[in-house]
Structure 1
Amino acid sequence: MRIGVPKELKNRETRVALTPAGAKALAAAGHEVVVERGAGAGAFLPDREYVDAGAIIGTARQAWDADLVLKVKEPEPQEFGLLRDQTLFTFLHLAANPELAHALVAAGTTAISYDTVQLDDGSLPLLIPMSVIAGRLSIVEGAHFLLSACGGRGVLLGGAPGVAGARVVVIGGGVAGASALAQAIALGADAVVADIGDARLVRLAATHAGRVRTVPSRPEVIAQEVARADLVIGAVLVPGAQAPKVVTRAMAEAMRPGSVLVDIAIDQGGCFEFSRPTSHDDPVFRVGDSLVYCVANMPGAVGATATAALTAATGPYVAALAAGVKQAIAADAALARGVNVAAGTVTHPAVRAALASR
């Protein structure tokens, strides 16, 4: 099979969908691997390492002219014309991107999204490593924008002798939220976590005994906690669907001046009423007197780490798809759940419902 790896076009996206080690394994299995020139540069993986691994270095068009195309982020509009009846394996987030969904349908592409590959227990094996990274980064970025020089409240996350740490409210106790919570606690913040699941709150309370306060995720509770927060992390996920809006504009406007909100769910439309995608070059905007961070490719800030984590998870699925797409999907229920578009139609139920409601 011919496998293509285009260079990512999203703002400051430094990840790459295949490492030289992955290219070597595919080449050894008899596949032809075409990597766009410079695709791995952001993760400090130079072209020569891909050549040494048996890959071909080519143009964007040559990388897209493949039976199986591997990416990290969804195709940008300028790439829509390169889509055809091939298989695309990447993060798609189609519930928040109807234009891309229409382009994939029109091109006859079989589109498999990392974030909807789902095991029988409901876990998302290809999303987990990026959720962990995004959760940790949300605290790093939140702490940064709390600095006075960045327009924040001038509050140090971990406080100082005799001075309490910043109050951090994490909404959503899944993988990303739990990672953000652990990072906030490790840095000495006064941490609160909200979730709709009692069992999840019990588990988080036990994990961080005495170091976290747990509250139910109800509108009146969220409003109270957000009003008192220095930093709010939105980490609510419904696989394949648009994220529910859990923080309203009125809640944000009631926060103290210089407070910060970080929306990890922005790829799925965001879980704040006022969220809109931002970039690493222009990461924040103001709502009231608060700063809002909505970068849609947060792990791109740590391309070397994120590439290693992502490709370790995707590698076995890539190998199976390279051996035969139809057979791989038929043999693996988790991979079959990852199919969002096939044969000119949107096939994933949650994605289809989300697009129908727009």
Structure 2
Amino acid sequence: MRIVDRYPAVRACSEALIAPLSAEDCAIQSMDDASPAKWHLAHTTWFFETVVLQELVADYNLFNSDYPYLFNSYYNALGERHARPQRGLLSRPSLDEVLAYRAAVDQAMLAQLPNASNAFLRLTEIGLNHEQQHQELLLTDIQHAFFCNPLHPGYCDNAPMVDQNPSSRRWLDMAADLYQIGHQGDAFCYDNETPPHQVWLNAFQMASTLVTNGEFQAFIDAGGYRNPTYWLSDGWDWVQREQLEHPLYWHPKATQAFSLRGDQPRAADAPVCHLSFYEADAYARWAGARLPLEAEWEVAARLFPDENNWMGQVWQWTASPYQAYPGYRPPAGPLGEYNAKFMCNQMILRGSSAYTPTDHSRISYRNFFHPHCRWQLSGLRLARDL
């Protein structure tokens, strides 16, 4: 799809996501890691206004001179910003004012796109992919906010859900060899997916299916959350400090879990999700296996593309820390802060989830979160050595 057509489609999708929400829903922030839906709408607009229009259109005037401070996320090169944990305090501007901001920036963008330069188109493509990232975050953030509401309201009756996965597990054999990973071809990718490079992998096996709710329940029943044998030291300290006994959103005394549709039966055959890296790693050790390296995950996904659940169910934790590929150089200017500055103290997830926009996933995609985070649709598949 041409960018001139893709731009309004992606932007309309964000606004469709808030259709089931009230203005009050759009303003709440349930924890420091999350952001209000209204902020997501404004921040993605700020990106197009600041990184594209203000940079490349000589006579462009800001919609509101206060918005760069309110809606910058983490770009130090682009100025000071409102503190992330306080985004839920922004009762003003109102939701209507944020939507008016979006409409004005969209009008300016659409006026430029038909005759835009390659630089304008390239930055617009980055902005659209950036907005799709925030579409997924908007859903995970509102799910957490609604979970914090004692009424446990549902977002909407047809919200995306993780599917049941009744297939039997096979172990996919990968020989010891030199493999190439990283993004290949001319299609869009983020800078952290490059450059393509070779890695040596010892012989290993990858599970053909994701770990399920039923399998994770067996770990709980076996005392997995009470046995430090399976946990990394940081993970065990975290579990003890938070007094955790099950994945996020599980009802401890019932076979239900909270979802975007509200409380729902917890299907034993559905992939387990909303796990931290610590929980995923502990389960893998208990199961006599391990988490895959991100290179192993990518190689297996490329060699066995017909196996189910590589994409579109849950993000899958890997054992790999988020760091630069050999030969990586961050882009010049503010976009150098988009990925490179976070290459420390975070772990890589691969695949995509039921909340990921359908055209926003690819085998080389590198997602990353801190190891304690579990409000995303994050699960696991097992690997083991041969």
The two structures have a TM-score, normalised by structure 1, of 0.23
The two structures have a TM-score, normalised by structure 2, of 0.22
